[in-house]
Amino acid sequence: MRYSYSYSSSPRSLAVEHNILFLRGFTILFLTCIAIRLDLGLGLSSIPSSLKSLPLGGHLNFDELSLRNAARDFGNRYQYHPMAVLHPESVSDIAATIKHVWLRGPSSHLTVAARGHGHSLQGQAQAHGGVVINMESLKVPEMQVHVGNFAPYVDVSGGELWINILHETLRYGLAPRSWTDYLHLTVGGTLSNAGVSGQAFKYGPQISNVLQLEIVTGTGEVVNCSAEHNGELFHSVLGGLGQFGIITRARIVLEPAPAMVKWIRVLYSDFTAFTRDQERLISSENTFDYIEGFVIINRTGLLNNWRSSFNPQDPVQANHFKSDGRTLFCLELAKYFNVEEIDAANQEVEEYLSRLSYISSTLFSTEVTFVDFLDRVHVSEVKLRSKGLWDVPHPWLNLLIPKSQIQNFAEVVFGNILTETSNGPVLIYPVNKSKWDNRTSVVIPEEDIFYLVAFLTSAVPSSNGTDGLEYILSQNKRILEFCQRAQLGVKQYLPHYNTQQEWRAHFGPQWETFLQRKSVYDPLAILAPGQRIFQKAITFS
């Protein structure tokens, strides 16, 4: 499938587009009344038979096992059973299903959720009594890599996994520029949030590296869009938490792919030096290709654990390093290179490292293939699955914190609230706001540099200790309460709230835009009910 558009972005055309959106919103609301009449008073009991009569290339599944699987996610805390699971063969299957729900009006209470790889944390991809769409079933049209000297790209299904995109594009010597740390996620899933990893300081999140989208809106309409064509929908959907449409196709920016990665870890005991070096690196023109960090509290024998994958630069000094119970901060870096560039890459890395203030005895490094580096988390997944430690509750908390408040945050959270990090990593690294598009729906702090801090803890089932679910949830609550009390200007990433008042506070000045977009593209609030932002049949004004 190829897209062809007539692009125009003059002020006058933008004004016309906004007027069209307003008129379209009112028209859809009027049609809603007609849709309600078309429902003919049919009750919930008639829904399964009406769904079964839909002419689909794929199929709807109503059996208990399928419904139970669709009611689970990586968070492993919420389970809301749908009425049916759609396994679409084509985009038209998705459009027909949503159109069917739309025409039944609000009285049916039927909703629709797109489910990718099921990696949501709070039941966001679930639809209680509704229809869950298994997006991984959507494999057509196949991936198409466009190799161009100026701007290469790949067209992919919204249900495609990023790991598959990596392998396919590498066949052409290309790869996407921006990633998440875990690649076994779907395109539609990460683009509905943002998609952040250690490359975001350089290229922005994944939503900043998309050229075009194909969307099925909440009325069942299939729309092709880009920044220049149907731009309001395009920007709405990116970071839009699934509220405005289901991403069925995306055109992703590519760049030449390296063969190898020099992967480095160093430690800091001083948080100020740690953040100063991180900020210096992300603000430099010539720097590493990936920059992340993580917090280490009460982790003994850490350097010995690293030795299984990394080599110390000075083994003697590394043997004498003692953490002495200190809170430590690890700076994780990567430099991409091709085999013939190894000498130049080593020289560059040495020069970059010479400017940093890490503890010299803690320099560890290794060289791995590009694929092995990007897919590094999957190795941990395989190990955890073998031990039965993957399908456990994951009460993760992801925060975006303004640069001006990161010291205050660290003093209280890492100094008092958080007592250990043995239950999962705590990531912390800065990104540049200039690489994010403020027209999208994602909410970020106002400052030029802000930090992602991710508490990626796993709970041990049935435990009542510090590794138990209740303790971790209580700890997360303390962190959020401190942020609110201290007015740090923190925003949740992968946000989760229970009331619309909390959602209003999260979006702040962007709430009215978000609400207007919802009224246009999903006026019955059919889509993504698991986000708990809107209830179906809400009246917009």
Q: What DSSP letter does each residue of 21-32 carry, written as one string? A: HHHHHHHHHHHH
186 φ, ψ to 5°?
Answer: -85, 155
Average of per-residue pLDDT across 209-221 = 98
Which residue among 181, 255, 372, 502 is the active-site one? 181
Distance CA 266, CA 282 (A): 17
Sheet holding 131-134, edge to edge: 59-61, 84-87, 131-134, 112-115
pLDDT tens string 428-470 = 999 999 999 999 999 999 999 999 999 999 999 989 999 999 9
Contact 452, 427 (CB under 8 A): yes
Average of per-residue pLDDT across 132-140 = 93
Tokens at 427, concatenated: 């990531």
pLDDT tens string 257-268 = 999 999 999 999
Tokens at 51, concatenated: 């769904």
Average of per-residue pLDDT across 293-303 = 89
112 φ, ψ to 5°?
Answer: -135, 135
475 φ, ψ to 5°?
Answer: -65, -45
Average of per-residue pLDDT across 287-303 = 92
- Every domain range in the chain assigned CATH 3.30.465.10: 144-256
Where is 397: in which H helix or E strand?
strand 397-402
Global model pTM greater than 0.85: yes
Choose between 368 and 29: higher pLDDT: 368
Which residue among 100, 119, 394, 496 is the active-site one? 119
Q: Is 87 a catalytic residue?
A: no
CATH among 1.10.3210.10, 3.10.20.30, 3.40.462.10, 3.40.50.80 for 260-492: 3.40.462.10
Tokens at 154, concatenated: 């790949």
Confidence label for 108 from pLDDT (cuts 50, 70 and 90): confident
What long-range pairs does 313-321 form, CB within 8 A, spacing at least 24? 313/363, 313/364, 313/365, 314/360, 314/361, 314/363, 317/360, 317/361, 318/361, 318/362, 318/364, 320/361, 321/359, 321/361, 321/362
- Every domain range in the chain assigned CATH 3.40.462.10: 260-492
Within 43-172, strands assigned E span 59-61, 84-87, 112-115, 131-134, 144-146, 153-157
pLDDT tens string 522-540 = 999 999 999 999 988 644 4
Average of per-residue pLDDT across 153-177 = 98
Average of per-residue pLDDT across 354-378 = 97
Give pLDDT, residue 35.
39
Give pLDDT, residue 10.
44
Q: List the single range of 50-64, 432-446, 504-518 with lowest mean pLDDT.
A: 50-64
Q: Is 119 a catalytic residue?
A: yes
Q: Which residue type occupies 399? A: L
Q: Is 181 a catalytic residue?
A: yes
Where is 235: in which H helix or E strand?
helix 231-237
Distance CA 286, CA 302 (A): 30
Confidence label for 1 from pLDDT (cuts 50, 70 and 90): very low
Q: Which CATH architecture has domain 144-256?
A: 2-Layer Sandwich (3.30)
Which residue among 292, 375, 394, 496 is the active-site one? 292
Give pLDDT, residue 539.
43
In percent, the amount of the chain with pLDDT more than 70 equals 90
Give pLDDT, residue 480.
98
Does the structure show a pLDDT above 90 at 205? yes
Give pLDDT, residue 46.
59
Mean pLDDT of the chain: 91
Give pLDDT, residue 150.
81
Within 439-494, strands assigned E span 449-455, 491-492
Average of per-residue pLDDT across 196-206 = 98
